[in-house]
């Protein structure tokens, strides 16, 4: 149960930071935000969606688990959302899947580097200066 509450806390933190990005729309599976299901339907609802003016969408999924399962969890989430990724290509020129996979001790998996790339694409660093 601790990992679930950590996941919610991390999602809230990420959403609160990303809502300050100027040139995008943020959808979050959290109270007080527009639900990602308005774009994806109810079958698959990623943790966060970010749409950009340049017809790009980021599908962000957070996974919290044990260190020994980080890579397995990231792979499983990618497979889970592959059909949604393909479906969104009908509406967006670029669809980028970002899996932020964190261990219960705070270790990030290698696919989490995509999160850093997403922040660069959003010019997040420039807006926080």
Q: Model confidence over 84-98: pLDDT tens digits? A: 999 999 999 999 999
pLDDT of 4 = 54
**What are the structure tokens assigned to 61, written together?**
């999924």
Confidence grade of residue 1 (pLDDT, cut at 50, 70, 90): very low
27-102: CATH topology is Alpha-Beta Plaits (3.30.70)
Whether 57 and 95 have beta carbons less than 8 Å apart is answered as yes
pTM: 0.84
Q: Do the strands 24-28 and 94-103 form a parallel or antiparallel pair, or are they unpaired?
A: unpaired
**Residue 16 and residue 98: Cα distance in Å, rounded?**
17
């Amino acid at each position: 149960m601790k990992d679930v509450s950590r996941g919610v806390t991390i999602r809230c933190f990420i959403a609160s930071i990303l809502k300050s990005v100027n040139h995008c729309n943020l959808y979050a599976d959290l109270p007080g935000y527009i639900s990602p299901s308005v774009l994806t339907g109810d079958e698959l609802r990623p943790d966060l969606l970010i749409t950009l003016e340049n017809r790009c969408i980021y599908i962000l999924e957070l996974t919290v688990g044990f260190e020994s399962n980080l890579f397995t969890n990231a792979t499983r989430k990618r497979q889970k959302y592959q059909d949604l990724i393909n479906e969104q290509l009908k509406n967006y020129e670029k669809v980028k899947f970002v899996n932020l996979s964190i261990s219960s001790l705070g270790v990030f998996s290698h696919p989490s580097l995509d999160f850093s790339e997403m922040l660069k694409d959003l010019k997040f660093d420039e807006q926080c200066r």
